[in-house]
Structure 1
Amino acid sequence: MQNFWPSSGFSQLQRNARGWMLPTDDYLRLFLVRPELALLPESCRAEQTLHATLQDAPTRPVPDAELQALQDDDARESYGLFLRFRDGLLDAGTLEAYYLSLFRAGSISIPPLFIDLLAQAIVRNLLDDATDAYEVRAAEMLFRPQRISTEEGQVLAGDRDRLDMLNDHGGLGDFGRFLAEAGAPLRSIDMQVLSDSNAPDYWEASERHSFLLDLRHEVTNDLSHGLVFTMTRARSGLKALARVLEKWVQHFLGAAVTIRPLQKVDDEAWRWHVGLDIDATALLNDLYEGREVAPERMQRLVSLFRLDFVEPQEMRADVAGKPVYLGLMMNAERVLRLKPQNLLVNLPLRAQV
């Protein structure tokens, strides 16, 4: 087995009989060394004391007066958010139960950072026996925003924060100039397109998020004389992402599903769809209602997928046996923020008695 994403906290967690993750003191301590809570030279005595006592006993109650004693407003807010997250996690009992409760409650009281950290640890758990670097790289999309380029026939997903850092500090220039060279290792910017030849290098570099993922589902070759040959890519990042999403649904909902990328939805009996991000949700709603969609907006659609339940009886009776169509879309800034929680709260599951 490969030890990828060591900072996810997976090694500090424990599994229960269901395979869900139990929080531990060591897992909570990881948050205390993050930049948001780490001590600074100017940290006041009250903050130093709070930090030290939480390191010693991460689950101990913290009275509001102790929090208000912190002199720095940002520190007070950061500790307050951490304590809200900690208490919600401990009350829920597992990372998965807490994650589900955040979205089923209808209102979210913790910042996106905590949600992404939960998702990373959960995905790390369900991929613990993974041996496919494409699948693990695709799984990064569940908790890290991606920048998308569709230039020169490629659809490449790159880690947004990594690319922005390189752009700011590595002399990268615009993303388009970078992609002109992206078919080979780029020492100057430390980014590569994941391929069979460099896939073994992914595991040790997984924390750097420095691999680009090719999201093309098909490759078209012009054979001259007007002949065009289209071939499905065996190593498509979309297929790898689909496998991760299948495991995500199974892990949380206990329902076996199959997911495969699509070029288009050609279904007069289209009954159900789920957007995997906010832009795809809006687009699929408009298409379903027959509203006109501007070409520029359609061009931001990265992919469609078809989801089928292995056991149709697990679906609502009125849609049992029907496919569920999924959409994945970048925003106007070419950033894709996949929201895996949408699959957990919007699938047409049969009501539990």
Structure 2
Amino acid sequence: MTTLHDFWPHCGFQTLEHDVRGWLAPSDGYLRWLLARPELALVPESCAAEIALHESLKVSPARVVASAELAALQDADARENYTVFLRFRDGLLAAGTLEVYYLQLMRSGAVNVPTVFIDAVVQALLRNVLDDCNDAFEARAAEMLFRPQRITLQDGQMLAGDRETLDMLNETAGLGEVGRLLLQSGALQPTAQVKVLSADNAAQYWQESDRHHFLLDLTHELTQDLSHGLTFKMTRARSGLKALARVLERWVAHLLGVQVLIEPVHQVTDSAWRWHVGLDVESTAILNDLYQDRPVEAERMQRLVSLFTLTFANPAEMRADVAGKPVYLGLATNAEGVVRIKPQNLLLNLPLASAS
């Protein structure tokens, strides 16, 4: 399969196989990629039993592992890590594709694997969804579905930055332990090694996508002061929120087979709205309270990053009692200013006429 850009090259996507409908089938190569993750990598303290297990799985990553082999691992953390990995691996193999595995896991209501594995699956799915993508803003927006983001306001712009990257730069200025010591001593100021994604530098994204150092501008409207006290609001053509909306549309189409249109909005104008979906824990709670006419403190309301309307291309695919009505989506930060999108919410909570 030809791709416009091989972005996120370290997400394991190139090791996966495609079935006839274009969904991702786990291969030995993908299982080896998982096995090479830091959580499972051998360390100098690894015992002989762990080394033997790891090396044998590299040769035959789908082989059955006897309980006695796990019991032989001397380190309790290593035993737990391999137990979780094997549960995850067996779930993938039984499902047949990453898409089926993800849908079954989320619909089960019993998520029994760590977030690190779920985020890896979501990234691979999005890499597949965006395989024909030529828009760096959409690819960067898609990172929000599997990497927490810090939201900051700067010169009137609402910027989303990769939490892990920003925290690392704040702690070490990108210079490891030496940088940490220099920062603590005051000899070094935190350096701005991140940049706002723009039309001018968008081409750089494809080569640097794994560094996660581009900020995404989520400012959707610009206000321009005119004469006589008038103001003019203009929607930005390169809005990060609009790019996120396009990604969410693709996400729903790929996994549910339903065509939807998603648009950022500033407020819910329908006083009798019928359905809403929070894209994260915080916005879910806020929308639930508003829907139930419960008071929402100003501080919580200010955490709302955006609202969206979602409409079905075919209203017949909606539940009859809400057919033709928009679905309102919410996106919000937590108290620390971090957005943690739960992409499964869109798949589990849409008012579908029948299970997809």
Residue 203 (str. 1) matches residue 206 (str. 2): yes
d(CA) in 2 for partners of 1:350 and 1:152?
45
List structure 1 runs of 4+ shifted beyond 3 angstroms: none
In structure 1, stretches of 5+ residues that fail to align are 174-186
d(CA) in 1 for partners of 2:17 and 2:33?
15
Which deviations, in whole Å up to 9, do the C-alpha atoms of 1:15-65 show, x marking residues without a partner?
111111000000010111111111111110000000000000000011111
Tell me which residue corresponds to 2:287.
284
Residue 80 (str. 1) matches residue 78 (str. 2): no
Q: Is the contact made by 2:168 and 2:174 (CA closer than 8 Å) also made in structure 1? A: no
Tell me which residue corresponds to 1:46.
49
Residue 348 (str. 1) matches residue 348 (str. 2): no
Q: TM-score under structure 2 normalisation?
A: 0.93
Q: 2:330 is paired with a residue of what secondary structure?
A: strand
d(CA) in 2 for partners of 1:139 and 1:342?
15
Tell me which residue corresponds to 2:137.
134
Tell me which residue corresponds to 1:12.
15
- Determine which of 259, 264, 268 is the counterpart of 2:267: 264
Residue 218 (str. 1) matches residue 221 (str. 2): yes
Residue 64 (str. 1) matches residue 67 (str. 2): yes
Q: 1:211 to 1:352 in 2, by over 3 A?
A: closer
d(CA) in 1 for partners of 2:273 and 2:289?
13
Tell me which residue corresponds to 2:104.
101
d(CA) in 1 for partners of 2:76 and 2:9?
31
The aligned runs of 1:181-260 (5 Å cut-off) are: 188-260=191-263
- Determine which of 27, 32, 50 is the counterpart of 1:24: 27
Tell me which residue corresponds to 1:143.
146
Which deviations, in whole Å up to 9, do the C-alpha atoms of 1:201-236 show, x marking residues without a partner?
001100000000000110112234412121100000
Q: 1:12 to 1:218 in 2, by over 3 A?
A: same
d(CA) in 2 for partners of 1:77 and 1:52?
18
The one-letter amino acid of 2:45's match is: E
d(CA) in 2 for partners of 1:229 and 1:321?
31
d(CA) in 2 for partners of 1:329 and 1:188?
28
d(CA) in 1 for partners of 2:156 and 2:227?
18
d(CA) in 2 for partners of 1:297 and 1:338?
17
Residue 123 (str. 1) matches residue 126 (str. 2): yes
- Determine which of 160, 165, 168 is the counterpart of 1:162: 165
Which deviations, in whole Å up to 9, do the C-alpha atoms of 1:237-259 show, x marking residues without a partner?
00000000000000001000000
- Determine which of 3, 6, 12 is the counterpart of 1:3: 6
Q: 2:229 is paired with a residue of what secondary structure?
A: coil
Q: Is the contact made by 2:280 and 2:341 (CA closer than 8 Å) also made in structure 1? A: yes
Q: 1:282 is paired with a residue of what secondary structure?
A: helix
The one-letter amino acid of 1:214's match is: D
The one-letter amino acid of 2:271's match is: E
The one-letter amino acid of 2:209's match is: S
The one-letter amino acid of 1:292's match is: P
d(CA) in 2 for partners of 1:158 and 1:171?
15
CA RMSD of aligned residues (A): 1.6
Tell me which residue corresponds to 2:304.
301
The one-letter amino acid of 1:213's match is: L
Which deviations, in whole Å up to 9, do the C-alpha atoms of 1:291-336 show, x marking residues without a partner?
1100000000000000000000001111111110000000000000
Q: TM-score under structure 1 normalisation?
A: 0.94
The one-letter amino acid of 2:91's match is: G
The one-letter amino acid of 1:241's match is: L
Q: How many residues align?
A: 341
- Determine which of 90, 93, 99 is the counterpart of 1:90: 93
Tell me which residue corresponds to 1:330.
333
In structure 2, stretches of 5+ residues that fail to align are 180-189
